[in-house]
Structure 1
Amino acid sequence: MSKVAETVSQLVTPILDDMGLELVDIEYVKEGKDWFLRVFIDKETGIDIEECGLVSERLSEKLDEVDPIVHNYFLEVSSPGAERPLKKDKDFEKAIGKNVFIKTYEPIEGEKQFEGILTHFDGITVTLEIKIKTRKKSVNIPYEKVAQARLAVSFS
């Protein structure tokens, strides 16, 4: 996590805790000539625009006080969306039974990208049930080899 993201996490966490919300992810990225600070928040029943606006206002005040970012930037506070990233152990645990997409740092059984139903997670291994043509197969992915993971929208 970048220094900016770490500082923003420390600033936004008390705000989210106070509102009963969860921090999903923070991105601090340059796109073209502009910098963007994106804070993704959620809760069990989903997040609405008013909650995003309130968090944005409260976080903006804290950022103005602490001033941890040297560049001009755009602050965006939003839901992680339907393809929510899976970052923490609890994200994987909550995603059991759901369709997920995983990229790995190195090939597992000759592949680096997998999409399927997350059937098991124990903190060491992520198990997916994937479809290969007309049959199903279980794939065990070592958790430390997961580069990216997210929920995947299924159109089947």
Structure 2
Amino acid sequence: MISIQQEDFDLAHELQQLRKSCNQMGAFVSFVGLVRDYATQGQVTAIELEYYPAMTYKSLVRIVQQAELRWPLLGLRVIHRIGYLPAHAQIVLVAVASQHRHSAFAACEFIMDYLKTEAPFWKKEYINGQNYWVEAKATDTQALAKWQN
């Protein structure tokens, strides 16, 4: 259900596994985030993600549990990669199965909004031979606010 890993993932394989594990599924929605190749300081060649294993895993479990309380989900898969990742690499997968599309779309978006703001990952961008720690974005906090009302 939840993985934090350095290795890349095979999207088709992960979706096939989710599909096989769910009965009465009417929809599944997936989101794959990629390492952007741009930032305000210039062209990004890579990022590096650090985390504290026990704390980060517990945080992801809480996020998933909150989604399961809000929507009737049949299954889900969350993969978040860590380590050094070049531009355009896959960084995150959120896949959600439900009987209906509305629940699957909403839960997928909810999980991503919480991952961006509440999961304890520290990200460093490599730009033009320099590196910068990435601060939280106001737009991510605004996206989270809609779930907290």
TM-score, normalising length: structure 2: 0.34
TM-score, normalising length: structure 1: 0.33
User: Which structure features the higher share of helix residues?
Assistant: 2
Between structure 1 and structure 2, the one with the greater Rg is 1
Q: Which has the higher contact order (CA 8 A, sep 6+)?
A: 2
User: Which structure features the higher share of strand residues?
Assistant: 1
